[in-house]
Amino acid sequence: MRDSPPDLRAVLLDLDGTIVDAADGIIDAILIFAREQGLAEPTRAWLRAQIGKNPEDTWRQMGGHEPAAMSAIFSERYGPLIASRAKPTPGSEETLVWLAEAGIASIAVTTRTVDSAQRVLQAMGFDRYFKDVLGRDLVPEPKPSPAIVHLALERHHLLPTHSVMVGDTSADVLAARGAGVAAYGVLGGIGAEQELRDAGADFILANGIGELADVLNARARHKDIHS
């Protein structure tokens, strides 16, 4: 077993922008679906900024009158295509391997549905690394509500101090902090550094998810020295 913080039992991981890069596939599919539905076509930059947020809000802002139904149809119709184009973010697989070898559970906490999340993880061969996959369809409200983080803690009998949340948007940070869990913001995805800091991120992974292991070990050694 590799070195790891002694009291850390789980890392709650956002997917899109954190360990999964599916942005181009998602944006292309949304634009195609928007044309089919007669909706206004926003810019790619605007759509990129919506990734990781509640998709029903995105469809509503684009003029959709039944956003819940549109989300379901979109996921069913385009989910497999999006999954096939998804790729790992730099350092994500190495990080998942390290967590597994260190005995730390990886739990996906995402605004995707469970089915969508499992599909993309399976397409990349990442499903074997995850102890659990939690999606927006399991909670009353998606991130930034802390409901999905609370669910992860309850399901796996975790104290907030025994886990950290890692994500690339302010929604991830706010969800974590609302549940009393340390929030690590990841750069390279959707959120900018200042956005993550303003939301209350406890730490910024400036070089992406690939530096998580080193950061966790360094912070654990600092804690040991000062305990």
Domain positions in the chain: 10-21+87-225, 23-85
- Mention every residue, 6+ apart, whose C-beta is less than 8 A from residue 92: 18, 19, 20, 126, 209, 210
Asked if residue 148 lies in contact with residue 175, where contact means CB atoms within 8 angstroms, the answer is yes
Q: What number of other Cβ atoms are within 10 A of residue 106's Cβ?
A: 20
Written as tens digits, the pLDDT of the chain (227 aa) is: 344 456 899 999 999 999 999 999 999 999 999 999 999 899 999 999 999 888 999 999 999 989 999 999 999 999 999 999 999 999 999 999 999 999 999 999 999 999 999 999 999 999 999 999 999 999 999 999 999 999 999 999 999 999 999 999 999 999 999 999 999 999 999 999 999 999 999 999 999 999 999 999 887 675 655 44
Give the number of other CB atoms < 10 A from CB of residue 43.
Answer: 10
CATH topology (fold) of 10-21+87-225: Rossmann fold (3.40.50)
| Residue linked to tokens 């184009």 | 85
CB distance 209 to 92 below 8 Å: yes
Query: Is residue 5 a contact partner of residue 100, using CB atoms and an 8 Å limit?
Result: no
